[in-house]
Every structure is written in C-alpha cells, then in structure tokens.
Amino acid sequence: MTTRIGIVGCAGRMGQMLMQEALDGEGVTLAGGSEWAGSKALGRDIGELLGRGPLGQPVGGEARALFAASDVIIDFTTPAATLEHAALAAEMGKPLVIGTTGLTPEQSARLDEAARRTAVVWAPNFSVGITLLMALTRRVAATLDESYDIEIVEMHHRHKVDAPSGTALGLGRAAAEGRQVALEEVWVKQRDGQTGPRQSGSIGFATLRGGDVVGDHSVLFAAEGERLELTHKASSRRVFAKGAIRAARWAAGRAAGLYDMTDVLGLSA
C-alpha cells in the first residue's frame, strides 16, 4: 500500500528535503506541498523548486486541500503554524507527523488535545540514531546515581532560533525520566557569573551556535575519577527527513494518540 504524504512548509530547507524523500522513498508518494500566504514559492512547480524538472504539481496555499489529498501530513514549520495544522488534522482525522521544536507547555497541551482525535507523531528529532541515544540516556541515567553529574552539550548552525535545541531538551527529559524526576525541577539552562558550586542532581545544558553544523549532541555523565559520554553527530538533514517519512508510513491508519519515534521504532516498551 502506497502512503500519500503531504508536506506543509514545503519550500523551507527541511520541507524540500522531505519532498525529495517522499518522491524517492519506497511505499510512499508525494501528495503535494503547501506554503504560507506570503511565500514566494506559491504556484511554483514542485519539481522545479527541487531542481528536478516539472512535475505538474504547484506549491499550494490551502492546507485544507493538501490534507484532503494526503493520507499523512508532515509538519516542520513554526509553533503557531503547527497548532493550526494540528487542529485541522484533528478535524479531518488525518495523521500528522510533527518535527517542530520550541513549543511552550501550553502549546504542547494543545497537541495533546489534537492527539485525542487523530494520530500525532511528535519528536524533537527524527534521526534513528538520536532516538537510540535518548533510549540509552534514559537507561544510563536510571543506572547511575546522583554522584554522576549530567550535562548536555549541543551545537547547531548559526541560523537556528531556539535554544537549547528541542533534541537537547528531549535528551534532558530522557535523563530526568531515568532518574524519575521532572526535568523542569532540575534543569540549568544557563550559567553566568558567580553561580556557586554545581547542585547535585541537576541536569545542565550548554548551547553552541556557528557555521553550518547540522546537529551535534552529547550527554555527559561525570563523576569522581571517570566520565561517560554518549554522542551523536548528524552530517546531513537527510537522516531527519528519512526518519520522518518512516514515521509517516507508520502513522498511516494508526489509532488516535500521541506517539514519538520510540513508538515508531518499537522501543517504547
């Protein structure tokens, strides 16, 4: 069975990568792509936008029409746009795969509401490697006691607008789950000036920005006499697109609920 995939925000870097994967992947086909009302890509042939030659599919401006033509929709846009798309997906009963980061707790709660009516796969990172890193982080954090300090270091390209990255926060949440604490109660997102000694049990974040780095993430468990480091480095956004397409195929026909990549990979148990 071929899964028809629609891409909202299709003219962005990730949007174009997702369309390439939908055109080239097995078991999927590109239903179309849409953009916001002021986008210069509106009306352009998708094939020409991707440098592949005409496909006879113009970039649309109506998300509802794209949803109607698709089995599953993929959204790597902005928090505000994602919430609109989630409401539309819930209304139309269409599965939605979300890679948008930087959502507030209130916005996340609205995704929970949409997931009561349709399948929503939401992950801060769709890389298979990152998903495994999160599972490992959870397991290691559950094994090591608080004599091991947890620090998360991430680096991205100079254009990234949110910090820490959604993936870094996801890793922090995995570590907190391993220690059976709420991340918001133990995180330290910034240090400046005379901060005093490190508080035992806290989970620290360090954010680096520069160049064209796709995404580097490390989780450090540091104790007296030894340090364990778990690291993932992405050299191409294609791994995110391939993971999202995999998630879309998995979500097609799935019951309503909020899922993530651990569910897609069968790691949630």
Catalogue all structural domains in the chain, each as residue range(s) with its CATH number: 3-122+237-264 (3.40.50.720), 128-234 (3.30.360.10)
Catalytic status, residue 94: no
Percent of the chain with pLDDT over 70: 100
Collapsing DSSP states into helix, strand and coil, what is residue 18? helix
Please report the sign of the dihedral spanned by the C-alpha atoms of residue 13, residue 257, residue 162, residue 137.
negative
Strand 215-223 and strand 149-156: pairing? antiparallel
- H/E run at residue 128: helix 128-143
The pTM (predicted TM-score) of the whole model is 0.83
When pLDDT is cut at 50, 70 and 90, the band that residue 269 belongs to is low
> For 111-134, how does the pLDDT look when each residue is reduced to its tens digit (9 = 90+)?
999 999 999 999 988 999 999 999
> For 187-201, how does the pLDDT look when each residue is reduced to its tens digit (9 = 90+)?
999 999 999 999 999
Q: 8 Cβ partners below 8 Å, 6+ apart?
A: 15, 33, 34, 63, 66, 73, 74, 75, 77, 81, 85
Segment 148-152 shows an average pLDDT of 98
Greatest Cα pair distance in the chain: 63
Q: Phi, psi at residue 127, to the nearest 5°?
A: -65, 135
Out of 85, 94, 156, 232, pick the active-site residue.
156
Catalytic status, residue 189: no
Q: To which residue do tokens 């290691």 refer? A: 140
16: phi > 0 → left, psi -120 to 50 → alpha, else beta; which?
A: alpha
Q: Is the pLDDT of residue 175 over 90?
A: yes
Out of 40, 85, 94, 160, pick the active-site residue.
160
